[in-house]
Chains A and B, each alone.
Chain A
């Protein structure tokens, strides 16, 4: 249950002061998983031994008067597309079933260096391609608020793990909304940092010009602590920003007094459910009450984001996923020669959505179509960046819904295009590399969580946390149609 669980900050404070051991914190997390993950299915693999060794190490440090770090004893879940040395890392694909990476992702090393306990790997849409976590080769994850609904995706397992109270923190990756959309649907905080703010060394690549790693948390302050821990330059990632990243935790409590905030017109119209739109307007009013100036702003090119994204992301994926050839890692299906072995392996190893995107990307990049599709999409990217720059000359932050709807039922969006539409509000930030934060804000008419998205320009990450906290404090608990409130209660 969400309110029975300590936040990451509370857990670390107790462990560092000796009021609680890391072993106890781990046991509480494991008990919650045992009680409920058979229903939720957030985890693909548990890393009990690794977590127990780390908990012992943390407790030994405390006993010796040393500080294990800001995440001392905090259980954390990792999306299964980030490498964990010696532990399965599948990307929810049959292609990588059984593979155990020989190294840790930088984010995993940094979390453990700060005292966190990696308790397991979470489910996702295969290779992070999807918005519902139904495209997992190992079965779907379910929304802890309503087990008949999807948790969103692609980082659905990590979002559900926090929403179900299994862990106070988890990591996801966001290529077109894969952190923010499941955060919204599961009623937790989700953050996509500025492109380059967090190292991607050890993140299995989907679309390299879009992918970012970020946290899920039950509070804005926990998300800030996690971001500060994993962020910063890493020489092992050539796209990592060399300059210092402003501390998110330091911006907490700054509020929004005097800030100019724009509601993106194009993301408040057709295709956005009325109850979601009403919550965004209510959130805008809360920001205004806290001293911000809130106005509507037009960013017309955002409506082309979806079309551009579904050319660019598949194009990059078709290139990145060429490495799964049955030679160096993962599955192999035999063939009489290399070419047949490659094709047999890829045909058996990839699911339909991955095949769809590889073929779409191959087509968009192929001779004769490159200029019409990929080339055009790259120019749309610049167009969107120019319009955002224009908007940020008048506004400090922008806002919109995170997702056009609340969590939908499993199987409800069976054709690919309707699922792709879920990303319409989140994609623009990925195309231009900007940071964006999804904060829970009340419930929809169905009683399920609504997320409000806050957007900032490059390296404006810290400002999002200050504004996010204002929304968190104003989070309405009024019941709607279903008569239940979201905070503090997880419906079976």
Chain B
């Protein structure tokens, strides 16, 4: 098995990504992510000093439009597709404290 990423690191990454990972899944994902990171380590051998990073291939930057108000999606139509809504807002469980 690869040593590129540990079981604990995978568990931590799962938490960061808001995913609940079972013990069996932890074993599977640790092995699989390690295999991908092994391939990624091919890049380590490359001398990339002086090579600029590319975030995206499009030469456009800071695209703006005139600040004109245009019709947006209907509130009721959008809320109709939400898992829960109330009083014209998205409804969620408590964000703070005990339920």
Contact = CB atoms under 8 A, between A and B. Distances in A.
Interface of A: 99-103, 195-196, 208-209, 235, 238-239, 241-242, 304, 306-308, 310-311, 318, 322, 325-332, 334-344, 346-347, 350, 352, 355-356, 358-360, 362-364, 366, 372-373, 375-383, 385-386, 415-417, 420, 431-434, 458
Contacts of A328: 78, 81-82, 90
Given A209-B56, A359-B33, A377-B43, A337 B84 contact: no
Interface residues of B, number: 53
A68 B71 CA distance: 27
B36 A417 contact: yes
Q: List the 8 closest pairs (A to B, CB-CB), nearest first.
A: A433-B57, A332-B83, A378-B53, A209-B56, A381-B54, A336-B99, A379-B48, A238-B63
Q: Which of B37, B60, B65 has the most CB of A within 10 A?
A: B37
13 contacts: A99-B81, A209-B56, A209-B57, A304-B46, A327-B92, A328-B78, A334-B93, A336-B99, A338-B94, A339-B18, A344-B20, A373-B37, A420-B36
Q: Which of A334, A381, A458 has the most CB of B within 10 A?
A: A381
Q: Which of B19, B94, B99 has the most CB of A within 10 A?
A: B19
Interface string B85-99: 000001011111011
Contacts of B33: 356, 359-360, 363
Contacts of B55: 209, 378
Contacts of B92: 327, 338, 341
Tell me whether chain B's interface is mostly helix, strand or loop, or mixed.
Answer: loop
A382 B46 CA distance: 13
Contacts of B9: 363
B43 A380 contact: yes
B48 A306 contact: no
Interface in B1-41: 5, 9-10, 13-14, 16-21, 25, 28-29, 32-33, 35-37, 39-40
Contacts of A239: 56, 58, 60, 63
Contact of B56 (A102, A208, A334, A341): A208
A417 B84 CA distance: 39
B44 interface: yes
B69 interface: no
A375 B90 contact: no
A431 B58 CA distance: 11
A306 B18 contact: no
Contact of B57 (A195, A326, A331): A195
A196 B81 contact: no
Contact of B40 (A241, A311, A379): A311
B67 interface: no
A310 B40 contact: yes
Contacts of A372: 44
B36 to A, nearest CB: 6
Contact of A433 (B36, B58, B78): B58
Nearest to A333: B83
Nearest to A358: B17
A377 B42 CA distance: 11
Contacts of A420: 36, 39
B42 A343 contact: no
B1 to A, nearest CB: 13
A337 B13 CA distance: 21
B43 A307 contact: yes
A344 B53 CA distance: 36
Interface in B46-82: 46, 48, 51-58, 60, 63, 65, 73-74, 77-78, 81-82
